[in-house]
Chains A and B, each alone.
Chain A
Amino acid sequence: MIPRIYIPGDSGALALGAEKVAKAIASELAERGIEAKIVRNGSRGAYFLEPMVEVATANGRVAYGPVKTSDVKSLFDSGFLTGGHHKRWLGAPDKIPFLAKQTRLTFARCGVTDPLSLESYKKHGGLNGLTNALGLTPAAIVAQVTESGLRGRGGAGFPTGIKWKTVLDTVGDRKYIVCNADEGDSGTFADRMIMEGDPFVLIEGMTIAGIATGATKGFVYIRSEYPHAVAVMNKAVEIARKAGVLGASVLGSPNAFDMEIRVGAGAYVCGEETALLDSLEGKRGMVRAKPPLPAHKGLFGKPTVINNVISLASVPVIMDKGAAFYKDFGMGRSRGTIPIQIAGNVKYAGLFEAAFGMTLGEIVDEIGGGTATGRPVKAVQVGGPLGAYFPRALFDTPFDYEAFAAKDGLIGHAGIVVFDDTADMLKQARFAMEFCAIESCGKCTPCRIGSTRGVETIDRIAAGIEPEKNLALVTDLCNTMKFGSLCALGGFTPYPVMSSITHFPDDFKPAPVRVAAE
């Protein structure tokens, strides 16, 4: 048997030197005259161990990491091709605590398989969901997705099955499935990982959505900051088309479904679903008023399902193992698993898929291991630039849509950014306003103008100019933005701003007091 070596091609791993490691291993193989197959897999998401190299041995996979190019010679000398011991030896990857504690449903194959091998995909349970779906009526597929309790993983948490049912029930000569892969929130990378590490699961999920709703065309709108994901998705669509997964006859059935990959152009607001639709149509990415819902009048005015990458990528496992299996995980009205992305100033950064219900403290302290700098955690921002900053006092909040809403926060796309005690929360609040000003599409005045006035007012607080009065003004402004903006950009920017003010009032005190307090 030719040895197989897995070296991630995931951009997170590449950013940490995976390409150089791959080259070093290839040249070492050539030099030693060893024949081996190098597979560029996705990442398993334990980025503190990347680049994590794995070898397939008679006793299963053995991982080594983080591997540097300088380790390569000694790895060969230690006999790593048969799992030999080395200082970078990690043992069986699924026994690594960070990975062993997870419940991998959506990310079951990510980092395990060759992303562009349909064979490998099928061998690991791929296409089972689609095959099952093809044996059901559209209404039965929709019912199963509804029954699973799956809610939109993009941030809004709207029940996916209900969205699909609306499109199924709407008459249209042409319907679309649009995948929102404009993952612009800082602290999130789950969409990127799936697209780079298991692209067929997204294609399968979109195809199921098409069959369930009567849509025959799909678009994946990927942000331009993700060139690697764009490349992998394009190749995967091509492969799926050739294999008959996509096309006029999906897996030989009478159903037609095909899709295209589209690339954004650097506008954060296009992650908002209606702005994304306008952008796909070739317009400025301006937010639309709802109604009409995209499910009634979406892309080019046709009934459209628009879902996040993770929502769609979670559908195959639901259709494979059943709604009850999926629903069994989670708590309250948050069913199934959620890929939590632990990021920022944290020791063990990476993707952690788990059932809903872990507390924020467990995630940050136990899984994440506290800060990378070793200093105390001051704040964590959950849900991207529009998510609230939570202090330690709220670490008992369970990871659940409703529990976070009850504490004036949101789960969003499940990214968690950790800050140590050097963070200045006034600066973070100011950044939230500044970011809103940069990225506002300009449609709603509270967002377009309010964000700029917000920056100015926070600057006045920082300068000690009438702080009480200006704090009241910011609060009032946040209220106007929250209720006077069409979409989440203007509407949710108040979350990071107000949570900073509420939970970290000392950072907003006039400068002399702040200095004295230190």
Chain B
Amino acid sequence: MPMQPASTEITSRTAAIIQELKGLEGPLLPILHGIQEEFGHVPHDALPVIAEALNISRAEVHGVVTFYHDYRSHPAGRHVLKLCQAESCQSMGSDAVAAKLKQLLGIGFHETTRDGSVTLEPVYCLGLCACSPAAMLDGQVIGRLDDEKLDEIVAEVRS
């Protein structure tokens, strides 16, 4: 697992991100995206810093962070694999793809392998519905998943 930065470091790096984005209209989501990009998740210690800077309560910040699926409270694995589970992919057998991947990786959805190599997540549509079933590995899109492509994905995340 990656080392967690100390809270003073979180505070200073968070403050720098806030400083850069504070001037935007409605800056909270861009700030949270910036923090997640910086730390790989939204550390708990960052919340009071944001609340203070934007003059809102910590509860409000917490409410926003927990509302959106994207924000993580803990770091993900080194790779993040998002597997589409929406209707178009369902029509092309995404259930079976999910079952096979879970078996190959030994984890379920929203879980990270014990070696920290990969986090598996369901996603509801990647806009790749004309080449279902689809997935996204670390931002790279993959369409028409088949056994061969699944093996390639597993090999890549394990390497």
Contacts and interface: CB of A to CB of B under 8 A. Distances in A.
Interface stretch (B5-13, B21-29, B98-106, B112-120): B21-29
Contacts of A343: 88, 129-130, 132
B55 to A, nearest CB: 12
Given A188-B129, A280-B26, A282-B28, A345 B67 contact: no
A207 to B, nearest CB: 18
B66 to A, nearest CB: 9
A417 B28 CA distance: 36
Contacts of B88: 186-187, 343-344, 415, 417
Interface in B46-73: 54, 60, 63-64, 67-71
A456 to B, nearest CB: 20
A384 B92 CA distance: 16
A281 interface: yes
Nearest to B145: A15
Contact of A16 (B26, B27, B143): B143
Given A47-B130, A189-B130, A344 B87 contact: yes
Nearest to B134: A15
A344 B131 contact: no
Contact of B128 (A12, A284, A415): A12
A262 B89 CA distance: 27
Interface string B110-145: 000000000000011111111110101001111110
A300 interface: yes
Given A267-B68, A300-B25, A349 B87 contact: no
A224 B127 CA distance: 11
B26 A428 contact: no
A188 B127 contact: yes
B92 A344 contact: yes
Nearest to B126: A225
Interface residues of A, number: 64
B30 interface: yes
B41 to A, nearest CB: 13
A428 B87 contact: yes
B29 A279 contact: yes
A415 B91 contact: no
A185 interface: yes
A184 interface: yes
A183 B127 contact: yes
A200 to B, nearest CB: 20
B26 A263 contact: no
B91 A265 contact: no
B15 interface: no
B86 interface: yes
Give the most central of A260, A281, A283: most B CB within 10 Å. A283
B122 to A, nearest CB: 9
B26 A282 contact: yes
Contacts of B126: 11, 225
A404 interface: no
A263 B30 CA distance: 8
A341 interface: yes
A217 B26 CA distance: 13
A192 interface: yes
B51 to A, nearest CB: 12
Contacts of B143: 12, 15-16
Nearest to A267: B68
A84 interface: no
A263 B87 contact: no
Nearest to A419: B91
Closest 8 CB pairs of A and B: A282-B28, A15-B143, A186-B86, A343-B129, A265-B68, A266-B69, A47-B130, A349-B130
18 contacts: A12-B131, A14-B141, A45-B130, A48-B130, A186-B129, A225-B136, A263-B29, A264-B29, A265-B33, A265-B69, A268-B124, A280-B26, A282-B26, A283-B64, A300-B25, A342-B130, A344-B129, A385-B124
